[in-house]
Each structure stands twice: as C-alpha cells, then as structure tokens.
Amino acid sequence: MKAFKSFTGLVCPLDRANVDTDAIIPKQFLKSIKRSGFGPYLFDEWRYADFGEPGMDCSTRPLKKDFVLNQPRYQGAQVLLARDNFGCGSSREHAPWAIENYGFQVVIAPSFADIFFSNCYKNGLLPIVLPAATVDKLFKECEANEGYRLAVDLESQKVTTPSGESFAFDITPHRKHCLLNGLDEIGLTLQHADEIKAFEAKHKATQPWLFA
C-alpha cells in the first residue's frame, strides 16, 4: 500500500447525500477481486449512458455530460467532496478500490457509512470528516472557482484552502500510522515476521508430532 503524506489536489464536488456503494461501483463489477482496474467503472451508471459490463472499453462509451466526473474542469481530481452518509449500502471493498483506482486520494464528507469508512483506511484512501457547514463552504468555493485545490496534510491533520484557511480533522493514531507508512493489515503483520518465524520454530521443536 502506498504511503500517504501530504499533497495538494484538485477537488471534484459530488453534491449528493447517501451515495451508496452500488452507485460507487455497481454489482456486476464485483466478479473480480484483483483490487485494480476499477477506476473506469467508478460511478458507472451516473457517468455513462449505456449499461456497463466488466472488460468494456470505457473510452468509447457514451458519456452523460452533465455528471460532474465528466466535466473538463474536474479531470485529474484527487479530492472527492461529498455529502452526508457517503458509502452507505453494502460492505463491498470494491468501492474504495474504485475510488482509489480512479485517482482520488481523499474523500471529504460530513459523515460516512461505518464499514466504508473502515475499508478506506485499509486500502490507502483517506476519508476526512468535517462539519456540514465547513463542507458546504468548500462546495461553494469549489463551484465558484475553477481549478479549486485543497492541501491535505496527514501529519498535521489539516485541510487548507487556497486562501490559507485551515480545518483540522480527526484520525486515530493507529490509522494515521498505517497510512503514513503505507501499511495495510498484511504489512502490519509482516513487521513481526522475525517473531513469527521464531515462534513457529519453537512450536515445531516443542511439539514436533504436529508437523509429522
């Protein structure tokens, strides 16, 4: 998993509440568990005018031009701005995969569905909770200013606007450590590889009949 430090990224405003995981990545794309290649299908039913299937060449598909991800000013966005209860619905881990595969590194919203929120951290995506009034302010500034960017610093736990206004966000020390060091659950376990090998060797020596 890629380490997360700090960056300044273009913001894309998704002005919808209760965005569920089936909207983020529709069910037909759950056949694959490769954790990659889902970016072109992010918000598939909202982005495209046809029905999406795994393996389709999305470069030739008809677009819904009024959808925010299809607007030229938001191409290359790395910060997704959303409304309340983002990521509700089923617990599919494909949802943060698709968001991260598309190129987003941060999702900012007033609230998130619990399982989606947890899955983001496990896959190198930073979900930031800010007060609804603050999020509303960011929506207005983003829509009024083309090329609107936010600076996100995980170390100091701050989001900073182009005008220099900063907003603090909370994150547990454990999750912060994992993101800063690019550690998923497997990576955390492998940090104790020597202890694991020593335990296995001792276990085999003291109870060899288990390994016959």
pLDDT at 68 over 90: yes
pLDDT-derived band at 198, boundaries 50, 70, 90: confident
At the top level of CATH, the class of 6-181 is alpha beta
Name the burial class of residue 69, with classes exposed (0-12), middle (13-18) and buried (19+) by CB atoms within 10 angstroms of its CB.
Answer: middle
pTM: 0.88
Residue-wise pLDDT tens digits, 72-111: 999 999 999 999 999 999 989 999 999 999 999 999 999 9
pLDDT over threshold 80, residue 195: no
Count CB atoms within 10 A of the CB of residue 76.
9
pLDDT above 90 covers a percentage of the chain that reads: 78
pLDDT, tens only, 116-175: 999 999 999 999 999 999 999 999 999 999 999 999 999 999 999 999 999 999 999 999
Phi/psi of residue 53, nearest 5 degrees: -135, 150
Backbone angles phi, psi at 154, to 5 degrees: -70, -35
Domain with CATH 3.20.19.10 in the chain: 6-181
pLDDT band of residue 192 (cuts 50, 70, 90) is low
